[in-house]
Amino acid sequence: QVQLVQSGAEVKKPGASFKVSCKASGYTFTTYPMHWVRQAPGQRLEWMGWINADNGDTKYSEKFQDRVTITRDTSSSTSYMELSGLRFEDTAIYYCTRAPRGEYWGQGTLVTVSS
């Protein structure tokens, strides 16, 4: 069965960076792109970007364009999402979800930005 398992919760200071991993299993990793979505407390889901797991091409939301980097390691079937220049409002749960339809999601990673 398809599974996406994300790394654990993190606490970061303003201005720092974090990197979340998303390990895929149960399918051929390079067949499907991966999206990254976040949800701040009490807020709507927010699309951050996408990676073509086959060739590594990326597309980022304009909102995060300058601060986000999505990568993948095909040898370990893992996608990574790094966000830099953290602000308090980046406190959120970060999810990976498989394209094209978003039928499979990771369990989410809570990142707290606190001084």
Contact set with another protein (CB under 8 A): 35, 37, 44-47, 50, 59, 61-62, 95, 97, 100-103, 105-108
- Residues 18 and 10: their CA atoms lie apart, in Å, by 8
Nearer to another protein, 41 or 89 (CB): 41
Smallest distance from another protein to CB 30, Å: 20
The amino acid sitting at 37 is V
Smallest distance from another protein to CB 47, Å: 4
DSSP-assigned beta bridge partners for residue 1? none
Peptide bond into 14 cis (omega under 30): no
- Residues 6 and 58: their CA atoms lie apart, in Å, by 20
Cα 62 to Cα 55, 67, 107, distances in angstroms: 22, 10, 25
Smallest distance from another protein to CB 91, Å: 16
Smallest distance from another protein to CB 72, Å: 18
